Amino acid sequence: MTTAVDFAARLIDPVAIRDAGHSAVIVYVAPSRPGSNFGAKPIAKPYTDQLRAAGLDIASVWQYGKPGNSSAPSDWTTGYDGGQRMGIEAAERHRAAGGPDQAPIFFAVDEDISLDDWNTQAVEFFRGVNNAIGTERTGIYGHSRACAWAAQDAVIGSAGGGKFWAWQTRAWSGGEIAPEAVLYQRVIDTPTSPGPLIDGSAVDVNDVLSAVYGQWSHYEQPEDLPMVKPEFEEIDYYADSNSSRKGARVTNGLGHTQEGGPADGSGAQGLADYLSNTANEVSYHDIIGNGQVFHIARKDRSSWSVLDANPYTVNYCLAGSRASWSRDQWLERRDDIRIMAWLMVQDAKEIGYDTAVIGPPYEQRDGLSDHYYVTQCLGIGTHTDLGPAFPWDVLAADVAEFATGAPASPPPNAINDVAAVTSWLGARITAGEESTPDGKGRFAAFEFGHIYWHPSTGAHAIPMSLFGKYAAAGWETGVLGYPITDVTDLEHGVVQGFQGGALYFQDGRVPVVVRGAIRARWHREGSEDGPFGYPVADEEALAGGEARQRFENGQIIWPGRRDTAALLDSEGPDTPVPDRD
């Protein structure tokens, strides 16, 4: 078993860690809270360089506050604003310590929180973190239930293969290991039960449960590979179609399609001529087409591209492109996408904003995105370009290469990766992938199931035994949303988790949707292994906004506002069951 250690009291000799048989160190990027002075918080680059030199992998965790500390309460109690603030600081300290921008950061929930704590406070903290650094980079440290809640509410990133950025502690987990977890803290150093000594200091020991668990090396490129700048002709075509930035800080580089303007056949030159005419009241900083780049506005000036967001943005237009294009049409312009990525990275580095790629689902932050980001996150205008089929994975791979100075690996295809390891799917039916109606996800059909992918949930296969019910519930646009876990075998059936609930299929019955407060109550009663058994019918609406769901041995009622009521069947009046939470 591959193991990683974590510690905060003092810096421990990396060679001693390696010689003790461990492969990685999970480092704290948070500073010491008031009244404490931990020698390994926050971690600094000289030490991470020593860890690398010893051949150790590294992952990052943030934990600042502590239960009962009045000046620094538990991080998860600080709400959305606290999550956003700590997310920004965590990313900055992680980067300063040498961590790659794409690597996730685990945020600690280091106490026995309840589902009510999660729903009323902790989930909002994680949504704030999501807004700061992106869901795909957000991880959680906590007990098994907190890891599961975070995955179910889609506030932590997917590690692929049904795993999420979930680091589970043994504490408060009741002996369970969450299937979502990539790390499991098996040995916890406490005064009454010290951890093993390395270089004179006690450490916690963690089992590594996934090939990818947030380690920095997964996101780093070999330093000896040369970066290849794309070839293009630069043409200074500066015009008067621009304005002063009025001192605004530039935060985003944005891609655009052409849509209007001159006829398609005029190419980049025709569009440059059109934008140079101030009477047309539109411009971009750069026009890209067929291996040429026309510079229309200088980067210290605002182009006329995104209304009130002009002072804060640098804008690039792919000549002749359309938001309605398919992925295949976009890939015919592969070279121009790569040129745009190069320009975006060079400008971001020169001006001083993040090179993080912000694709759907959008979140407001510094980085590289498109015109639809302005519509969705800033509430300015109604444009939807670059469009739902734009290949964000291709752009992200190019940006990663140019930002790090080394070629990136070929863009991963999550659907193909899942299909390769899921033999029960049978023969592929869909040639390639299909876009979902929301423009954010993809799916592919197979002989015995479907694979659905979304950027915040990853790719998961849905078997035919569940797919009919999923379709009847409205597919990904219905109450269930996208799948967030792989299908799991139970003693007498199967279950699969979705953004909005779960599908349960008991042998000999039909699939049933379980969601919301009723699902949470049923889980507190032991799920299918508890006294209520499996669900036998979908939730049904009652008068007055109430809802009821029937199970093998009883029913659970949600009165609309108050807590749920649970009743077990009996020969006489049904027996009320007190809530376990």
Q: How many CB atoms lie within 10 A of CB 355?
A: 21
Q: How many CB atoms lie within 10 A of CB 558?
A: 22
Which residues are 495's β-sheet partners? Answer: 488, 504
Bridge-based pairing state of the strands 57-62 and 24-28? parallel
Residue 563 has pLDDT above 90, yes or no: no
Rounded to an integer, the average pLDDT of 346-352 is 90
Residue 368 has pLDDT above 70, yes or no: yes
Residue 263 has pLDDT above 60, yes or no: no
Structure tokens belonging to residue 102: 């794409």
Report which of residues 42 and 406 the model is more confident about: 42
Query: Residue 97's pLDDT is what?
Result: 93
| Burial group, residue 53, by CB count within 10 angstroms (0-12, 13-18, 19+) | exposed
Q: Which fold has domain 233-404?
A: Lysozyme-like (3.40.80)
Rounded to an integer, the average pLDDT of 476-502 is 89
Residue 570 has pLDDT above 80, yes or no: no
Lowest mean pLDDT among 24-33, 157-166, 284-293: 157-166
Q: How far apart are CA 416 and CA 433, in angstroms?
A: 10
Q: How far apart are CA 102 and CA 396, in angstroms?
A: 10
Lowest mean pLDDT among 62-66, 232-236, 541-545: 541-545
Q: How many CB atoms lie within 10 A of CB 459?
A: 28
Query: Residue 262's pLDDT is what?
Result: 67
The H or E element containing residue 24 is: strand 24-28
Q: How far apart are CA 567 and CA 336, in angstroms?
A: 63
Residue 259 has pLDDT above 80, yes or no: yes
Q: How far apart are CA 533 and CA 554, in angstroms?
A: 8
Give the model confidence (pLDDT) of 107-116 as tens digits.
999 999 999 9
Whether 355 contacts 101, CB under 8 Å: yes
Residue 498 has pLDDT above 60, yes or no: yes
CATH number of 3-219, picked from 3.80.30.20, 3.20.20.80, 1.10.1760.20, 3.40.640.10: 3.20.20.80
Residue written as tokens 């001529």? 273
Q: Is 262 helix (H, G, I), strand (E, B) or coil?
A: coil
Give the model confidence (pLDDT) of 13-63 as tens digits.
999 999 999 999 999 999 999 888 999 999 999 999 999 999 999 999 999
Query: Residue 573's pLDDT is what?
Result: 61
Residue 129 has pLDDT above 80, yes or no: yes
Whether 207 contacts 183, CB under 8 Å: yes
Structure tokens belonging to residue 380: 């300015």
Lowest mean pLDDT among 280-294, 393-407, 538-552: 393-407
Q: How far apart are CA 499 and CA 42, in angstroms?
A: 35
| Burial group, residue 269, by CB count within 10 angstroms (0-12, 13-18, 19+) | middle
Rounded to an integer, the average pLDDT of 435-453 is 89
Lowest mean pLDDT among 62-71, 409-418, 419-428: 409-418
Q: How far apart are CA 235 and CA 365, in angstroms?
A: 31
Average pLDDT of every residue of the chain: 89
Give the model confidence (pLDDT) of 184-219 as tens digits.
999 999 999 999 999 999 999 999 999 889 999 887
Whether 196 contacts 202, CB under 8 Å: yes
Output the CA torsion 352→353→356→357 (10° steps): -120
Query: Residue 70's pLDDT is what?
Result: 80
Lowest mean pLDDT among 283-287, 303-307, 405-409, 429-433: 405-409
Q: What confidence tier does 223 reach under pLDDT thresholds 50, 70, 90?
A: very low
Whether 267 contacts 291, CB under 8 Å: no
Q: Is 175 helix (H, G, I), strand (E, B) or coil?
A: coil
Q: How far apart are CA 421 and CA 423, in angstroms?
A: 6
Query: Residue 579's pLDDT is what?
Result: 58
Residue 412 has pLDDT above 90, yes or no: no
* Identity of the residue numbered 322: R
Whether 550 contacts 536, CB under 8 Å: yes
Beta strands in 199-260 (DSSP E): 201-202, 204-208, 233-236, 243-244, 252-257
Q: Is 317 helix (H, G, I), strand (E, B) or coil?
A: strand
Give the model confidence (pLDDT) of 320-329 as tens digits.
999 999 888 9
